[in-house]
Amino acid sequence: MVPAPPMPRVFSGIKPSGEMHLGNYLGAVRQWAAQQDDHDALYCVVDLHAMTEPFDAAGLGAATRQTGTALLAAGLDPARCILFVQSHVAAHTELTWILNCVATFGELRRMTQFKEKGKGQESVSVGLFDYPVLMAADILLYDTDEVPVGDDQRQHLELTRDVAARFNHRFGDTLVVPKATVPPVAARVMDLQDPTSKMSKSIDSPQGTVLMLDPPDVVMKKIKAAVTDSGTDVRYDPAGKPGVSNLLEIYAAATDGDVAEAAAEFDGQGYGAFKGAVADAVIALLGPVRERYAALAADPGEVDRQLEQGAEKARAIAGPVLERARRAVGLLPPV
Ligand code: TYM
């Protein structure tokens, strides 16, 4: 076994499909940035995952670079973490194949995301079905301890743990079994126009989705237009008042508070003042990210260079873990 790293290893990823939104930022990416100093951190733009649904080949590379740029803008610092592109490290697909022979058809068929994304589609790619196994390979390839994600990825993390444990049981102790870490608030940011659906890159709801790079006036407009609930009181009640509760979570996350404090702060105030305060908090949070993005996007060559340096470091960690897995399953080593 490789000796345990001195700090817990974290790994997480984001698809370069569509622009990053407030849900990605509050649910995941902000935690990633915060964990760079007390964790051994790897973050990945998962371009191979973006291919599992219909995608534009002419735009995939640019979208991958744009997501890399947005992650740098959100505070990921290549001096303190490893930031790279999934397809630049071939070991991800090789470990996927080995894990494909451990994961079962039955468990993949039960994945909620697969069922939802496949619903009503005339044809569903094998890639979409196999999505969670590629995700398990991403994580297991780095001896990951913790995976900071939003609530919607919990099931995929459970599958990763099951596959790793089964692998270890069958082939001997080889893979580190990771755990998900989900933020206490804003783990599931909802669509502002339909607070019963999650804010999403793939759902077409431009008014309900605050993009990480939206300018302040657009953020203000979207939040002011958010669907609220009947009544006038600002109260945290996700089942009875999903719109107000979503805004309270956003506010609490943006101001580093909790929802109870936020609800108390707006007790007795109308929806108008409340929404204005939520918008101001989000604008203050995203302002520096937008500024950094503009500066970074002016030099795409530098972003590509940073991503390549990240990939080099990632390959150096992934190589020996893949080798361990190959040996464990008994593949004949090449001479
Ligand atoms: P993706 O690209 O859909 O989302 C990236 C991260 O953002 C979180 N997120 C949200 N959090 C709160 N509220 C929302 N509305 C919201 N929408 C998205 C997601 O939970 C995620 O943490 N399968 C992953 C990508 C992936 C991955 C991995 C993650 C591939 N390999 C290995 C962790 C480890 C996904 O589709 O993320």
> Domain map of the chain by residue range?
9-181+299-329, 216-295
Cβ neighbours, 10 Å, residue 49 = 24
Please say if 15 is a catalytic residue. no
Query: Can you name the CATH fold of 216-295?
Result: Tyrosyl-Transfer RNA Synthetase (1.10.240)
Measuring CA to CA, which residue among 144, 176, 166 is closest to residue 98? 166
- The pLDDT value recorded for residue 4 is 59
- The pLDDT value recorded for residue 230 is 86
- Measured from the CB, is residue 30 less than 6 Å from ligand 1? no
The three-state secondary structure class of 194 is: coil
Please say if 198 is a catalytic residue. yes
- Name the residue of 14, 182, 196 to mutate for ligand 1: max ligand atoms within 8 A of Cβ: 14
Measuring CA to CA, which residue among 178, 175, 144 is closest to residue 161? 178
Query: What is the rounded distance in angstroms from the CA atom of residue 155 to the CA atom of residue 180?
Result: 10
**196 touches 190 (CB < 8 A):** yes
Query: What is the rounded distance in angstroms from the CA atom of residue 22 to the CA atom of residue 74?
Result: 11
- The pLDDT value recorded for residue 2 is 65
Q: In CATH, what is the architecture of 9-181+299-329?
A: 3-Layer(aba) Sandwich (3.40)
As a whole number of Å, the end-to-end CA separation of the chain is 23
Tens-digit pLDDT profile for the chain (335 aa)? 666 557 999 999 999 998 999 999 999 999 999 999 999 999 999 999 999 999 999 999 999 999 999 999 999 999 999 999 999 999 999 999 999 999 999 999 999 999 999 898 888 999 999 999 999 999 999 999 999 999 999 999 999 999 999 999 999 999 999 999 999 999 999 999 999 999 998 778 999 999 999 999 999 999 999 999 888 889 999 999 999 999 999 999 999 999 999 999 998 898 999 999 999 999 999 999 999 999 999 999 999 999 999 999 999 999 999 999 999 999 999 88
Query: What is the rounded distance in angstroms from the CA atom of residue 297 to the CA atom of residue 294?
Result: 5
- Measured from the CB, is residue 178 less than 6 Å from ligand 1? no
- The pLDDT value recorded for residue 335 is 86
**262 touches 251 (CB < 8 A):** yes
Of 117, 222, 275, 313, catalytic = 117
- Measured from the CB, is residue 64 less than 6 Å from ligand 1? no
Please say if 241 is a catalytic residue. no
Query: What is the rounded distance in angstroms from the CA atom of residue 261 to the CA atom of residue 303?
Result: 40
Amino acid symbol at 310: G
Which residue's alpha carbon is nearest to atom 24 within ligand 1? 14
Query: What is the rounded distance in angstroms from the CA atom of residue 14 to the CA atom of residue 86?
Result: 10
Of 198, 221, 275, 313, catalytic = 198
Is residue 292 classed exposed, middle or buried when 0-12, 13-18 and 19+ CB atoms within 10 A define those classes? middle
Cβ neighbours, 10 Å, residue 104 = 12
**307 touches 84 (CB < 8 A):** yes
- Name the residue of 152, 181, 189 to mutate for ligand 1: max ligand atoms within 8 A of Cβ: 152
**Residue 131 Cα distances to 61, 135, 143, angstroms:** 20, 6, 20
Bridge partner residues of 70 (DSSP): none
User: Helix %, strand %, coil % for the chain, to 5?
Assistant: 55, 10, 40
Token digits for 115?
A: 């069922």
Sign (positive or negative) of CA dihedral 162, 45, 70, 206:
negative
